[in-house]
Structure 1
Amino acid sequence: MIQDFFILCSGADAELLKTCSKGEQNKYAGIGATVFFTAVMAFIASSYALFTVFDNVYTAILFGLIWGLLIFNLDRFIVSTIKKRNSFSQEFFQATPRILLAIIIAIVISKPLEMKIFEKEINQVLLEQKNELTLANKDQLALQYTPKVEQLNQEITALKTEIATKEIETNALYDVYINEAEGTAGTKLLGKGPVYAEKREKHDAALNELNALKTTNAERITGLETQIADLNTEYAEVVKNSQPIIDSFDGLMARITALDELPWLPSFFIFLLFLAIETSPIIAKLLAQKGEYDIKSEEEESILSSWVTQKVAQRKLIVSTDGDINQKIYEDLKGESELYGYKKKKAEELLRLQADSFHDIQIKGLK
């Protein structure tokens, strides 16, 4: 039963193969088993690849099954259409398009399994890429907020500088009136005279301006700091909202790209393995000697070809003979006087009817 199933997978004529030896049946059962297990590997590989795309087990299995059946049908068609000939070069030329197709199928099958085999290494590469993307994303978003924050900080610095400058001026006036009172500067008269009072008034006025300036600038600085805090909060929120996009950067294309960054030699050998599996039925048919099944299959094709050629020749002969017979019949009819007289009579009747009809039409036209 299993052998019959694998023979079915090989695309061979089961009825014709039953008339062959056991060895010939085992050969085609082996070819069919290769076709079957290649389709199984295609199903597994495509299911995993589609799972990374849809992130749903049932969807991945459904489309993976469809892909596996497609690969099975292609492989079965490839193997069944290669016919053994007496010339290897002719056989190889016949198999060349199928070998190219097998290479494409091997690439498609091997790539998802490579991603599964090197999953840990790929995850490490993806983690590094995500970290780089996170840093780049923060820097890029910061370009939208940093100029505004720097401008606000400059305004705060300017306000603080204004207060500091006013404090220096006020302190200088304080030193002036104190020195005047001590007699170490100005009039150099000890005591609090009119000049002292004047200088004290200047200092007190500057001190009041300083206090008012501190109050006003403090309110402005508080408002600017609030704006900076709001911008920092908004920046953090934008970074937080964009992070899930970076965290989900692990789709099929991202994993293929990450796989390409790994050393190529292991992936290349895995590809060679699947290429050997995919092309093994074709190579086996090319290298195998012409067997009993091939001889009988060629004989049946020859019988069918001869039968078709014979039928075509018979139809051509029938058409030719029928034409010759019809020609001879009409040649013989030329000499029949009775047929001549009958056709002459009918022609005369037709001419009379035409003349009468023409006469009636002319009379109607004259009335």
Structure 2
Amino acid sequence: MLKQFFILCSGADTDILENCSIGEQNKYAGIGATVFFTAVMATIAASYALYTVFDNLYSSIFFGLIWGLLIFNLDRYIVSTIKKRDNILDEILQATPRLFLALIIAVVISKPLELKIFEKEINQVLLEQKNDLTLANQNQIAEQFSPKIAALESEISSLNAQVDAKEAEVNGLYNTYISEAEGTAGSKLLGKGPVYKEKRDKHDAGLAELQELKSDNKTKIEALETQITTLQADYTTNVKASQPIIDNFDGLMARITALDELPWLPSFFIFLLFLAIETSPIIAKLLASKGEFDYRLQDQETTIQTWTIQQVAERKLLVKTDNDINNKVYTEIADEEEVMNYKRKRARELMQHQADAFFKKQKGVL
């Protein structure tokens, strides 16, 4: 049963193969097994690749089976259409487009399995790429908020500088009126005279202005700090909102790109392995000598071809003979007097009818 199934997978004519030797049947069963297991590998590879895209097990398996059946049908068609020829160059030319197609299929099959085999290494590369993307994302978002925050902080510094300058001025006035009272500066008179009172009033006025300035600037600074806090919160919100996009940066294309960052030699040998598997049925057909099955198949095809050519030739000869007979018959009839008189009578009647019809038409017009 298994042998018959693999023979069916090879695409060989089972009616012809039944009359061949056991060795010939085993050869095509081996070719069919290669075709079948290539389709199985294609199913596994496609299912994994689709799982990285859809992240759904059942959908991946379903579409993976469809892909596997497609590869199975293509391989079976490729193998079944390669016919053994008497010239090896003709066989190679015949197999060239099929080998090119096998190359494409090998690439499609091997790439998803490479992603699975090197999954840990790919995850490490993706982690490094995600970290770089996270830092770049934070810097890009910061460029949107940093100038505004810096401008607000500069404004706060300016307000604080105003308070510090006013405070220094008030402290200077304080030292002035104290020195006047002690007689160490100003009028050099000890005690609280008119000059002292004047300088004390000037200090008190400056102190009141300082208190008012502190109160006003404090309100302004609190409002500016609130804006800074809001901008910082917006920055944090934007970073958190964009981070899931970076965290999900592990799709099929991202993994293929990460795979390209790894050493190429292991991936290349895996590709060669699948290329060998995919092309093995074709290579086996090319390398195998012309066997019993090929002779029987050639005999059947040439029999049908010969019979068809013979039938076409007979039909052409029949048409030619029939035409020659008809020409000869019509030539002989053309010389008979009876036929000439009959044709003359009918032609006369036809001309009379045409004349009557023309007369009636012209009479109706008048």
Q: TM bucket by the smaller chain?
A: over 0.9
Corresponding position of 1:180: 180
* CA apart distance, 1:359: 4.3
Matched, 1:334 2:334: yes
Amino acid at match of 2:206: A
Query: 1:92, 1:8 → 2: CA distance?
Result: 24
Corresponding position of 2:352: 352
1:118-176 per-position Cα deviation (integer Å, ceiling 9, x unaligned):
11111111111111111110000000000000000000000111101111111111111
Identical aligned residues as a percent: 66
Cα distance change, pair 96–205 in 1 and its aligned pair in 2 (3 A): same
| Most deviating of 331-340 and 65-74 | 331-340
Query: 1:361, 1:163 → 2: CA distance?
Result: 122
Query: 1:251, 1:351 → 2: CA distance?
Result: 89
Query: 2:17, 2:85 → 1: CA distance?
Result: 18
Corresponding position of 1:319: 319
Matched, 1:218 2:221: no
Cα distance change, pair 9–202 in 1 and its aligned pair in 2 (3 A): same
* CA apart distance, 1:365: 5.6
Query: 2:355, 2:150 → 1: CA distance?
Result: 115
Corresponding position of 1:45: 45
Corresponding position of 1:100: 100
SS state at 1:213 partner: helix
Query: 1:130, 1:361 → 2: CA distance?
Result: 96
Matched, 1:199 2:191: no
* CA apart distance, 1:327: 0.6
* CA apart distance, 1:24: 0.5
Corresponding position of 1:295: 295
Query: 1:339, 1:119 → 2: CA distance?
Result: 96
1:23-79 per-position Cα deviation (integer Å, ceiling 9, x unaligned):
000000100110011011111101110111111112111211111111111111111
Query: 2:133, 2:272 → 1: CA distance?
Result: 34
Query: 1:203, 1:328 → 2: CA distance?
Result: 146
Corresponding position of 1:276: 276
* CA apart distance, 1:337: 2.4
Corresponding position of 2:13: 13
1:266-293 per-position Cα deviation (integer Å, ceiling 9, x unaligned):
1111001000000000010111111111
Corresponding position of 1:254: 254
Q: Structure 1: give runs of 5+ residues left out of the alignment.
A: none
| Most deviating of 234-243 and 335-344 | 335-344
Amino acid at match of 2:174: Y
TM-score, length-normalised on structure 2? Answer: 0.97
Query: 2:365, 2:97 → 1: CA distance?
Result: 80
Q: Structure 2: give runs of 5+ residues left out of the alignment.
A: none
Cα distance change, pair 359–197 in 1 and its aligned pair in 2 (3 A): closer
Corresponding position of 1:266: 266
Cα distance change, pair 162–298 in 1 and its aligned pair in 2 (3 A): same
Amino acid at match of 1:242: S
* CA apart distance, 1:362: 5.2
SS state at 2:289 partner: coil
Query: 2:365, 2:87 → 1: CA distance?
Result: 87
Corresponding position of 1:123: 123
Superposed CA RMSD: 1.2
Cα distance change, pair 356–192 in 1 and its aligned pair in 2 (3 A): closer
SS state at 2:86 partner: coil
Amino acid at match of 2:132: E
* CA apart distance, 1:340: 2.3
Amino acid at match of 1:270: I
* CA apart distance, 1:334: 1.8
Paired residues in the alignment total: 366
* CA apart distance, 1:112: 0.3
* CA apart distance, 1:361: 4.6
TM-score, length-normalised on structure 1? Answer: 0.97
* CA apart distance, 1:190: 1.1
Amino acid at match of 2:84: K
Query: 1:141, 1:365 → 2: CA distance?
Result: 95
Amino acid at match of 1:281: P
Query: 2:102, 2:152 → 1: CA distance?
Result: 66
Query: 1:74, 1:80 → 2: CA distance?
Result: 10
SS state at 2:344 partner: helix
Cα distance change, pair 71–204 in 1 and its aligned pair in 2 (3 A): same
Query: 2:223, 2:358 → 1: CA distance?
Result: 116
Query: 1:357, 1:210 → 2: CA distance?
Result: 129
* CA apart distance, 1:100: 0.8
Matched, 1:310 2:310: yes
Cα distance change, pair 363–187 in 1 and its aligned pair in 2 (3 A): closer
Amino acid at match of 2:41: M
Matched, 1:158 2:162: no
Amino acid at match of 1:132: D
Query: 2:10, 2:174 → 1: CA distance?
Result: 108
| Most deviating of 97-106 and 55-64 | 55-64
Query: 1:362, 1:242 → 2: CA distance?
Result: 94
Query: 1:353, 1:205 → 2: CA distance?
Result: 139
